[in-house]
Amino acid sequence: MKTRAVVVRAVNQLSIETVELDAPQADEVRVRVRAAGVCHSDLHTLRGELRAQPPLVLGHEGAGIVEAIGDNVTRVKPGERVLVNWLPADNTCPACLSGHPNLCERFPKTIFQGWLPDGGSRLKTSDGVTLKHYLGAATMSEYSVIDQASAIPFPDDVPFDVAAITGCAVATGVGAVIHTARAPAGSSAAVIGCGGVGLSMLLGCRLAGCHPIIAVDVLDRKLEFARRLGATATINARQNDVVSALRALTRGGPEYVFDSVGAATTIASALQAAAPAGTVVVAGMHAAIKDVAIPAGALIFQNKRLLGSFYGSARPQVDLPQLIELYRAGKLPVDELVTQHYALDAVAQAFADMEAGVNARGVITFE
């Protein structure tokens, strides 16, 4: 069948094309996509800065309706509403069996390269070029074929845009607080970077009962989003010394510092600012392919912890439904993260707005 999709044929070449989508094979489902989140990871991939290289179809946050299923599919049925879990673990490797399905050993050769779990693709251009499925999802398309383990059912009363961003930004940010750091109620916290993941970290801090919760960014508009979502104080990093400001606001430094940026400067600032015996959690990937110098003195002499958090240390099959239920219970206001919707043809504007800090989270929606 044909589907309109956001295609990257080469680095920095973005286009909307009508492409061919094959029928789902064994263990796969075809989803009519209704919403797709606009994430920095997609932009990094467009620029050739992450592992998956073009040609490919972008998008990994998504939600829609199952339209067709292949052989052996037992998890979902046609007509069900599903959100996309872009980490379909095999649940057989040592990482999965030790409780870390987000680190499944099959991902480096499949999902991270842009292939489906069987190592193949169901996408090709009208002139016959095979297209990868970014992160095994390719949700910036009217239709997508995904592994059945990528399809997580959710109730009819949950909007598609909420479900879409829960599958990545929210799971990553909330998980960094709840699962990686396990921050206790009453602990002081700071979040560096107030994009979709950083604001989700802030929601995670609220859910955990942290106080105070301090948001750090270089854009006042993003800091305003943070205040609306519950930050008790904000710091503009262009106008203030972040380390000094965090220490002043928390009697010596936050007990937990969450870095959604992951750049060399933010990692160093987080370690310096954290309280003695405090914890720093890095989830951002700006420096993921670089060697980063860290202030070892702050780490060692003050007994601080530096933790990495990939996808919020999530167990997607368990955690994604739980996050949806927290939203339904009014404890996780994911809908407040979505500040603008775009048509598929406006994806370039959506990326530009994301870089400019116009939105908390932008979402592409389909008729």
Place of tokens 């503009």: 236
Distance CA 105, CA 77 (A): 28
Distance CA 187, CA 194 (A): 20
* Domain residue spans of the chain: 2-167+313-365, 173-310
Tell which residue, 253, 245, 310, 318, has the closest CA to residue 281.
310
Distance CA 150, CA 63 (A): 11
What are 164's two structure tokens? Answer: 């879409």
Topology of domain 173-310 in CATH is Rossmann fold (3.40.50)
Tell which residue, 66, 75, 62, 69, has the closest CA to residue 36.
62
Please tell me the CATH code under which domain 2-167+313-365 is placed.
3.90.180.10
pLDDT tens, 13-50? Answer: 999 999 999 999 999 999 999 999 999 999 999 999 88
**Number of neighbours of residue 189 by Cβ within 10 angstroms:** 30
pLDDT tens, 335-360? Answer: 999 999 999 999 999 999 999 999 99
**Can you give the pTM of this predicted structure?**
0.95
Place of tokens 């990257």: 8
Tell which residue, 358, 360, 329, 362, has the closest CA to residue 231.
360
Q: Work out the mean pLDDT of the chain and round it to a whole number.
A: 96
What are 277's two structure tokens? Answer: 């015996």
The pairing of beta strand 279-282 with beta strand 256-259: parallel
287: pLDDT strictly greater than 90:
no
pLDDT band at 319 (very low <50, low <70, confident <90, very high): very high
Q: Do domains 2-167+313-365 and 173-310 have the same CATH topology?
A: no
